[in-house]
Structure 1
Amino acid sequence: MKKDRGKVWLGVAGVVMNSEGKWLVVKKKYSGLKGVWSLPAGFVQAGETADQAVVREVKEETGIDCEVTGLIGFRSGVIREEISDNMAIFLCRMEDENQPIQIQELELSDVQWLTEDEIARKGESSVMLEEMAHQQLANHQLYKIEGVNPGDIFQYTAYKLFFHK
């Protein structure tokens, strides 16, 4: 069953890296990403922040527990001149290097750890993933700020800031 997301979409994707610098990548069984390497990704649900959504999506798709360490990109586009399609891309760190992959077989055909070079030269990666691999994201300095309140008048129940150093 297809969900009605309205005309403004907010998705998330996670670049999860292990201690060897390899990225956790997936092959979807559906959509325009069917059969190509892409990042674990999905839509933000009501009542969660974007960084909570990416942690949930990575866990649902791969079984890997991770922590968001920063925001590294934002993709924005318009589909058929009517739907605003937006995606926040987060850098994530594995919580347990020994945790095994548990593939979500309803959505995915494969999950692997690949190096930036393997992603960039494989020819089997999504356009966004190939571009990101060419940028060598591991060299960027990122940080997040938690525990700030922009003012009670806004009534945020969760509020986080992500910046490049």
Structure 2
Amino acid sequence: MQWRVLWLAHAKFMVGVTGVVRNDQGEVLLLRHRMWPPERPWGLPTGYAVKGEEFPLTIAREVKEETGLDVEPGRLVHLKSGYKLRLEVAYEALVTGGTLKIDTFEILEAQWYSPDSLPDGMQESHRALIHGKTTP
């Protein structure tokens, strides 16, 4: 009974999970997202957690779905609430295998970039994550 009361009384959140995916050379994986604003299409792999899914596994699943690559999630690098019904979580991740093959429904292009030469048209919050900074 207590769980039902708590469920009814508390907010429900969507959890957006982002991966700062790097390769052995320290390059970061960026995707040009089809459904993002045309002036800011570039960003890190992202997606929403499904019910009951552990957040590090969300990024592994999303990267696999969007790019065909396998990743090993690492440490938590960002956690932010304060949005109406969304929580943002970001993890470091290391590519461990797979073959790059993008999901053309969501992704237009995937490229590896040096953190020192990121493309224009990138989400500023993602740029901050790559450089180990968090945004307020």
* Band the TM-score falls in, shorter-chain normalisation: 0.7 to 0.9
Kept in 2: contact 1:60–1:104 (CA 8 A): yes
| Counterpart check, 1:51 vs 2:56 | yes
| Counterpart check, 1:94 vs 2:95 | yes
Which of 128, 131, 134 aligns to 1:131? It is 128
Gaps of 5+ in 2: 1-10
Kept in 2: contact 1:69–1:90 (CA 8 A): yes
Q: Deviations 1:94-122 (Å, cap 9, x if unpaired)?
A: 113xx431101000111110111112xx3
| Counterpart check, 1:69 vs 2:68 | no
CA distance in 2, matches of 1:33, 1:132: 21
TM value normalised by structure 2? 0.80
SS of match in other structure, 2:29: strand
Who is 1:115 aligned against?
114
Amino acid at match of 1:89: A
| Counterpart check, 1:29 vs 2:34 | yes
Amino acid at match of 2:86: D
Amino acid at match of 2:65: E
Runs (4 or more) in structure 1 with deviation over 3 Å come to: 31-35, 133-136
Kept in 1: contact 2:19–2:90 (CA 8 A): yes
Kept in 2: contact 1:12–1:41 (CA 8 A): yes
1:45 to partner: Cα distance: 0.3
Distance 1:44 1:23, change over 3 A: same
Gaps of 5+ in 1: 1-5, 137-165
TM value normalised by structure 1? 0.67
| Higher RCO (CA-CA < 8 Å; seq separation 6+) | 2
CA distance in 2, matches of 1:24, 1:90: 13
Kept in 2: contact 1:28–1:34 (CA 8 A): no
| Counterpart check, 1:42 vs 2:50 | no
Amino acid at match of 2:85: S
Cα RMSD after superposing both structures: 2.1
Amino acid at match of 2:105: L
Who is 1:144 aligned against?
none
